[in-house]
């Protein structure tokens, strides 16, 4: 079975969708990665929200931004696949959908991300190249990467 994809601006999210995507982000970025940080950073209202649903549940998610919000270029952030679904390799589907959505919604080819260092090869497989030095964000090593 495949994911059902939808993309919505913040104002179009239902209360249940917002709850579910924030729950998934907290499960992975706060609890699983043992990282205390403020996930709700004020940018959700400026993002397009890419949601991959499986059996009525949010299984994959990312935020998409036009140029000038998170980086000079368009960007993808909060890339996450639920722990129960990682064996399905949906992270690749998520990135393909996100890249296509940046192009179709913002008309941009150049995309910048702040990637966790351990995922460098994953993002390289989607055309991203390292464009900066390693930096710490919430005690996790990250690198800036650019595609396009």
Provide the pLDDT for residue 138. Answer: 86
Ramachandran class of 105: left when φ > 0, alpha when ψ lies in -120 to 50, beta otherwise: alpha
* DSSP assignment string, 79-128: EEE-GGGGGGTHHHHHHHHHHHHHHHHH----EEEEEEGGGHHHHHTTT-
- Contact in structure between 127 and 148 (CB atoms under 8 Å): yes
Give me the architecture of the 4-109 domain, per CATH.
3-Layer(aba) Sandwich (3.40)
Task: Measure the CA–CA gap between 8 and 55, rounded to whole angstroms.
Answer: 19
In sequence order, what are the beta bridge partners of 6? 51
**Domain ranges across the chain:** 4-109
Provide the pLDDT for residue 38. Answer: 87
pLDDT band at 40; cut points 50, 70, 90: very high
- For residue 135, is pLDDT > 90? yes
Provide the pLDDT for residue 57. Answer: 94
Q: Over the stretch 9-35, which tens digit does the pLDDT of each residue have?
A: 999 999 999 999 999 999 999 999 988
Provide the pLDDT for residue 37. Answer: 85
Q: What is the mean pLDDT of residues 77-88?
A: 95
């Amino acid at each position: 079975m495949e994911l059902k994809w939808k993309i919505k601006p913040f104002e179009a999210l239902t209360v249940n969708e917002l709850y579910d995507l924030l729950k998934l982000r907290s499960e992975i970025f706060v609890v699983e990665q043992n990282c205390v940080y403020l996930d709700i950073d004020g940018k959700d209202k400026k993002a397009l929200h890419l949601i991959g649903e499986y059996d009525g549940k949010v299984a994959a998610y990312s935020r998409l931004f036009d140029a000038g919000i998170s980086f000079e270029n368009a960007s993808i952030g909060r890339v996450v696949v639920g722990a129960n679904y990682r064996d399905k390799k949906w992270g690749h589907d998520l990135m393909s959908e996100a890249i296509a959505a940046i192009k179709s919604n913002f008309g941009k080819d150049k995309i910048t991300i702040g990637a966790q260092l351990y995922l460098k090869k994953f993002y390289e497989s989607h055309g991203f190249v390292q464009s900066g030095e390693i930096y710490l964000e919430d005690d996790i090593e990250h690198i800036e990467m650019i595609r396009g």
